[in-house]
Structure 1
């Protein structure tokens, strides 16, 4: 929550209300959902603290609704309009936040892959029938595709000159398809809010993806809701090699789907077990 509060404050300071709504509402809601789905019993005090913090950070956008929550639900006597934006005196554990976001994103990817497999197509047939046994395959990229490396070099140069937040300048210097490059560049800018520039632009991931997945293996295997996960395989690959090597020795070219994986953002596929 601390990271999202800081991000939301920075967005407000930059008068970027669209991004403030994203971090203060949508990302906050996603954080709540992740907590709800990964614990047996939610802590009441923590839930009430969550509601209070989100009410405060959304007040500039929806003041009347937040006033109602502040007084009627939380029971405060004074108006939310005279409250200060949430502040935290203790330091934010960036590494813990990054690991949490990684696990949350991975579980979401598994569920999205599952829905894609069990959804019936036009011929009323699905790729994998509900209740089937499956193997979860997680592809971890050890490097970035060439075009993303070029974007990172460009962003690093603009960051040093203070022009990275000028979208007009950024778009004028991007080579290739803006529709593909800009989402990745916005992802880098978002990372800069929580990480050091050296970590972002030097391709550093401050945690071992495979080790973290193994630590959370039970949650990973429990992520599918309509299929039964019975096996897990983690596959490392490099975009620069152009191939993927599986644990059994099989070697295949990098597919378009697998090629979307980058360090810190793996690709998940599900394979039916006969």
Structure 2
């Protein structure tokens, strides 16, 4: 059940669960359960539309596990757990300082492809000790003595033993891979593949993924290591509030006022709408429409049979440009620029 729930959680954003995977899971569980609860299992077997009796079905054959995929899954589990903890600490710190307690909407994820040179030397020694000890590390006193004999590490001695302790703890959890000098897979690729899950799990609108090789804060560089990305939450930048109106008859959806920030995309705006309006479900498809007449379009009477005759759909590739000084919002797409006025129409469909 735990793996089923985890898979469902990973698909909690805009990504749907794979129908074949779901039915394969039900079928496998029913066969495994059949020796214990034959009547219930037979009922499930019939609902699935299977031929014959479940007691005659072959026992499931599980293919060998892919170690690399397993490592990627563990990486995402650990990463989301750390990100949630940092979000909790971020909110607690804001509360203590008496600041605005609204949750952050943006974040930057920093990842490292390799360790700093001094940490590489420490890992090199730990790998040597691990081989000499037949899969066991010596006590910290012995490791400290051997590290002290390395001239290039003397100026880092205050940092080496805390790092050794961290590696020792990771070794107990993740095994020999904790001693790797570099990550066994492309972290950026895994994070990008699971971006929708990250946004959904942390209730964020946008996330930027960047390597620590660039210009990053010193504390981020210190905390980030291969397989352990760091997330830094950002407060929402100033924008201009605009009305989002639903004109579909009997939809149960009403006007919503949310800010638009310079550089927002259609995907970000839709995610922001879903964060603000609990009537919009995560799986619902939302589209945005601009008024052809940005000044008077939202004041014209509309026909229920063609409620969008005064509107044009905003393409997914469009970007919003905000002029704070003039208080105006523009839409930019394929070299064209349109003034949006004070209202945008949104539609929702299942």
The corresponding residue for 1:100 is 73
Shift of the 148–142 alpha-carbon distance from structure 1 to 2, 3 Å rule, reads same
**Match 1:155 to one of 126, 151, 155:** 126
Answer yes or no: is 1:178 the counterpart of 2:141.
no
The corresponding residue for 1:58 is none
Answer yes or no: is 1:271 the counterpart of 2:212.
no
TM-score normalised to structure 2 length? 0.44
Shift of the 164–205 alpha-carbon distance from structure 1 to 2, 3 Å rule, reads same
Answer yes or no: is 1:121 the counterpart of 2:71.
no
Using the alignment, how far apart are the partners of 2:23 and 2:138 within structure 1?
A: 42
Q: Contact (CA 8 Å) 1:144, 1:263: kept in 2 or not?
A: yes
Structure 1's unaligned 5+ residue stretches are 1-27, 51-73, 76-87, 239-243, 246-251
Displacement of 1:108: 2.2
The corresponding residue for 2:43 is none
TM-score normalised to structure 1 length? 0.55
The corresponding residue for 2:212 is 237
Shift of the 124–253 alpha-carbon distance from structure 1 to 2, 3 Å rule, reads closer
The corresponding residue for 2:305 is none
**CA offset digits 1:75-107 (Å, max 9, x no partner):** 8xxxxxxxxxxxx98532101101111222222
Q: Contact (CA 8 Å) 1:135, 1:271: kept in 2 or not?
A: yes
Number of matched pairs = 190
Displacement of 1:233: 1.1
The corresponding residue for 1:260 is 223
Using the alignment, how far apart are the partners of 2:142 and 2:4 within structure 1?
A: 39
Flag the structure with more relative contact order, 1 or 2, with Cα contacts below 8 A and sequence separation at least 6.
1
Q: Contact (CA 8 Å) 2:110, 2:230: kept in 1 or not?
A: yes
Displacement of 1:123: 4.1
Using the alignment, how far apart are the partners of 1:258 and 1:33 within structure 2?
A: 35
Answer yes or no: is 1:38 the counterpart of 2:2.
no
SS in 2 for 1:223: helix
1:1-274 matched pairs, under 5 angstroms = 34-35=6-7, 37-39=9-11, 90-119=63-92, 120-126=94-100, 129-130=102-103, 134-162=105-133, 164-168=135-139, 170-174=140-144, 175=147, 176=157, 178-188=161-171, 190-193=173-176, 195=177, 200-201=179-180, 203-225=181-203, 229-238=204-213, 244-245=214-215, 252-255=216-219, 257-274=220-237
Q: Contact (CA 8 Å) 1:258, 1:267: kept in 2 or not?
A: no
Shift of the 192–112 alpha-carbon distance from structure 1 to 2, 3 Å rule, reads closer
**CA offset digits 1:54-90 (Å, max 9, x no partner):** xxxxxxxxxxxxxxxxxxxx78xxxxxxxxxxxx985
**CA offset digits 1:18-37 (Å, max 9, x no partner):** xxxxxxxxxx97x6764453
Q: Contact (CA 8 Å) 1:261, 1:267: kept in 2 or not?
A: yes
Q: Contact (CA 8 Å) 1:137, 1:268: kept in 2 or not?
A: yes
Name whichever structure is richer in helix by fraction. Answer: 1
Q: Contact (CA 8 Å) 1:148, 1:184: kept in 2 or not?
A: no
Displacement of 1:166: 4.6
Structure 2's unaligned 5+ residue stretches are 30-35, 38-60, 148-156, 238-350
Using the alignment, how far apart are the partners of 1:258 and 1:171 within structure 2?
A: 28
Q: Contact (CA 8 Å) 2:111, 2:225: kept in 1 or not?
A: yes
Instruction: Answer with 1 or 2: which has the greater Rg.
Output: 2
Using the alignment, how far apart are the partners of 2:175 and 2:137 within structure 1?
A: 15
**CA offset digits 1:122-155 (Å, max 9, x no partner):** 34335x523x5x2220101122134422221112
Name whichever structure is richer in strand by fraction. Answer: 2
